[in-house]
Structure formats: C-alpha cells, structure tokens
Chains A and B, each alone.
Chain A
Amino acid sequence: MKPPVLRCRHVKKRYGTFTALEDLSLEVYEGEIFALLGPNGAGKSTLIHCITGLAKQSEGSIEVLGFDTVHDFRTTRRLVGLVPQEINYDPFFTPLESLMIQMGLMGVEPSRERAETLLKTFALDEKRDAYTRTLSGGMKRRLLVAKSLVHEPRLLFLDEPTAGVDVELRRELWQEVEELRAAGTTIVLTTHYIEEAEQLADRIGILHKGELLLVESRESLLERHGGRSLEDIYLELIRKADGRHAA
C-alpha cells in the first residue's frame, strides 16, 4: 500500500467546553478519493479546518506527507488545497485577479496563463473581468474550486462543493475531480448527497458527533451489506449511533 498522504493521530478539537472531535485517527492514501460523510454538525468541516490551517486541533497531531501541520505549516499548506463550505469572495477583485492573487499567496509565481487555463476549465472565462459579486452562486463556487487548485495541491479537500450547484455542473465538477485523481491528486470530500459518494469514493468514512463510526472501502462496505444502497447503510449506522447516544 502507498504511504499515507494524510495521517491524523488522536485528534481532539474542543470549542470551549464543547467537544467537536473526539480522539480521531485517520489515514488517507495517495491517489484515492475519500468521502467523509456525516450529519450536520458531525465535525466534518472542523476536521478539514484543522488539517488546512483554518483551525488548530486541541490535542493530537496531523501530518501531510509526513510533515506536521503545526510545525511544518509552510510545507503542508503548499501541499494542501481547500474548497471551503462557505462561499467567500473578495468584492475588490475579478475572478482573474483573484486567481493570480491566490497563486502569489500560495507562494507560486503568479502566471496569467495558468489563471486563464483554470478559468476555462471551470467555464468562467466569460466572467474573468466581472465583479466577483455579480457571479451566480454556482459560479462563485466554481471560482472557489479554481482557487483551490492554483498551486497544484497533492491533497485536495472539497467541503460540500456541490451544494447549490446545478445537476449539469455537478456532473462536470465530479468529472473534474476524477481527472484530478487520475493526475495523482488525493481527494477528500464531504457531501450530503450520499449517492455522489457511492459513485465516486474509493473509501468512505462516517463521522457522527465527532467520532468516526466507520472507515471502509466502498466495495467492501457495499458487499458486506449485500446489495443495499450506501444511503440505506449510512442511515442505519447513524440511527444506531443516535440510539446509542440517547441511551
């Protein structure tokens, strides 16, 4: 097996007295698509934020390709890309400018050519010089995806990239994800469309109230549950866990 691209060891995250992640350990391997599923508030974004630098774990360690995300943050952040769940955009800059700026911020010499290629890939070239606030919601999200790729990350996090994106573009986006994976990028995604995970993911992790209930390859998970859909399996697991918490 290839070495882990991501290794989380006993990661705990507390917000004040609230525990959002409870002793979480996880490995993600080179070239795979890993789907992180879980209900609202399970801690999916929290975990992604701890890895990408938006938050800091309270305990435990996180490594990207063997580099610690706290001590070697300059190295790990060059290796990691993030499409955040919340859409954000800088009203001061156009899509083209935003991409050029993001390259520089990521420590890559800004290249207009690369920016234009990305705009084309995400069907934004017509809007390259528009005010970003005039883009539609789906376009803004595609711009976020383009921005996350400016530095050619080895490990890409997509936190609900398809929320609010129309069917056609969703398909295109997942196709783009497949292509990235084919080019060697490791991908961790979250989605509430379980069937998307069923189609795409090599492995699946189910997070519930800050705890990983399960991490398994899609194949063996589906096989184990003989013919049932991932959505059914997912719901059963979550309900069982809810019952356990209630008891």
Chain B
Amino acid sequence: MSTIALKTLFLKEVRRFSKVWLQTVLSPLVTTSLYFLVFGVALGSRLREISGVPYIQFVVPGLVMMTMVRDSFLNTSSSLFQSKINGTITDILVAPIGALEMLLAYVGAAMLRAFLVGTLVYLVALWFTWFPLHHAGWSLFFAVFVTATLALLGMVAALWAEKFDHLAIFPNFVLLPLAFLGGVFYSIDLLPEPWYTVSLFNPLLYMVNGLRYGFLGVADVSPVASAGVVLASFLVLVGVASALLRSGYNLRS
C-alpha cells in the first residue's frame, strides 16, 4: 500500500469539501439547526416527554444522525461521481493506488466532514438544551460505523450511477424518508401495528436509536441490536464496495 498516495488522496478529498464549506458544512448545519428550532424548541415546549426525556432533547441524536448519514453519503458519492463524469478519475486510475487506499481515503474524508457537521449540530443543540452524554463509547461507536457505512454506500452509488438523477435518488428518496420513518422525531412505540413492525425493517431506525441510546440512554431498540444491524450493514458495504473497486466496475472500461 502506498501511504503517500493514501495521504494525498485523503487530503485532496478534505480540501475538496473545505473549499466549498458553505455548501458542505454550513448548509447542513443551518438546515439541521432549523429542524431543531422548529421541532425541538418550538414544538418541544408544547409536547410532553417522550420515552422519559424532554422532547427537545429526544430529537437531538436523531437530527445529528440524520445529518451525519446524509453528509457522509453526499461526500463520497458526489466527489467520486463528479470525477467519473469530468474525467479526473483518470488521475487515480493511472496511479499505483489499490482498492484499499481508495476506500480509506474517500471514506475517511467523508467521515471527517460528517463528524464536523454532526459535532456542530450537537453543540448548537447543547446550547439550547444542555444534557450530559449518557454513554460516550456507544455514541462514538454509532457515529463511526454509521458514517463509514453511508460513505461506503455513497461510493457504491457513485460507481453504479450513470447520470446525476440516479445519484439524487438516494438522499432524497431513500435516506431522508428512511430517517424520518426511522424515528428521528418520534418513538416507534407510538405507532400502531403494522407500522411498528414495518419500522423494525428500517436500518435507519437502528442508526438513529443507537445514537439516541448513546446520547440519552433511551431507545426503541436495544443498543446491542442496533450495533448488530449497523455492523452488519457496514460489513456488507465494505464487501460490496471493495469488490466493485477491485473489479473496476464502471471505472475501468
């Protein structure tokens, strides 16, 4: 493995999102903070507690997770897809760079962006409603593995996509609805059947509730179940993404 190439590719990806930080950092921060102000602060003052915690606090981990999911996905998918379209992927394809370096660099940079935005959203929320972190270890575990998983999914999507429309399917028609239905704003305990059971098939539910457990110590599903789902998704995507990269799928004609 070439460590110089790995470092260069990682820094290149970091610089890419830093150069357009208004779009990649500030914009998700503002959007997510608005969700928090509307749902958490405004509505939350009228709502009772949910799962034994004030509603304004209940929504924080869900919102942090929602933006981290989106940002890690968007970072890898848009970067890789753009370089496929504008031809700059050539620079990487002719270089002595293997699938492993590509995965580490792209995923690493996407995680950095997601952590940056996630941390900022968390700090904004704490400023409105301070609460102690229930379990730092679980929080970190879910943040790390969820962002890595979504960054990998972003790579797979970028490899598969042939036009921008294909790529837009994921954030808008898959990730956002699944995050909403995965209990960012509510506990699925409130849902009647069959929706309760249907919700259990939503992987985003486990991501949101995993972080909620880490932050607040409450969740609709046990942290171990959440960790299982997250780790399984992670491993599947590591497998798929590295197989695609190794075979040169839609990269090396």
Contacts and interface: CB of A to CB of B under 8 A. Distances in A.
Determine if chain A interacts with chain B: yes
Contacts of B12: 101, 104-105
B252 A106 contact: no
Given A49-B253, A84-B87, A77 B96 contact: yes
A100 to B, nearest CB: 8
Interface string A70-87: 000111011011101011
Given A77-B94, A86-B87, A105 B8 contact: yes
Contacts of A101: 8, 12, 91
Nearest to A107: B2
B31 interface: no
Contacts of A87: 87
A103 B96 CA distance: 11
A218 B223 CA distance: 73
Given A77-B95, A84-B90, A88-B90, A53 B252 contact: yes
Interface string B82-100: 0100111011111111100
B164 to A, nearest CB: 16
Interface stretch (A89-97, A193-201, A222-230): A89-97
A15 B252 CA distance: 12
B252 A82 contact: no
Interface SS of chain B: helix, strand, loop or mixed? helix
A75 B7 CA distance: 19
A77 B94 CA distance: 6
Interface residues of A, number: 35
Interface string B1-12: 010110111011
A109 interface: yes
A87 to B, nearest CB: 8
A128 to B, nearest CB: 17
Interface residues of B, number: 28
A92 B5 contact: no
B19 interface: yes
Contacts of B9: 104-105
Given A54-B252, A74-B96, A90-B86, A147 B5 contact: no
A82 B88 CA distance: 13
Given A55-B253, A88-B90, A91-B86, A74 B4 contact: no
A53 B98 CA distance: 11
B163 interface: no
A14 to B, nearest CB: 11
Contacts of A104: 4-5, 7-9, 11-12
Contacts of A84: 87, 90
B135 interface: no
A233 interface: no
A195 B227 CA distance: 67
A52 B93 CA distance: 8
Contacts of B95: 77, 102, 105-107
B94 A52 contact: yes
29 contacts: A49-B253, A53-B93, A54-B93, A55-B252, A55-B253, A56-B248, A73-B98, A77-B94, A78-B96, A80-B94, A81-B94, A86-B87, A88-B90, A88-B91, A89-B86, A90-B86, A90-B91, A92-B20, A101-B8, A101-B12, A101-B91, A104-B4, A104-B5, A104-B7, A105-B5, A105-B9, A105-B12, A106-B5, A109-B4
Interface of A: 15, 49, 52-56, 73-75, 77-78, 80-82, 84, 86-93, 101-110, 147
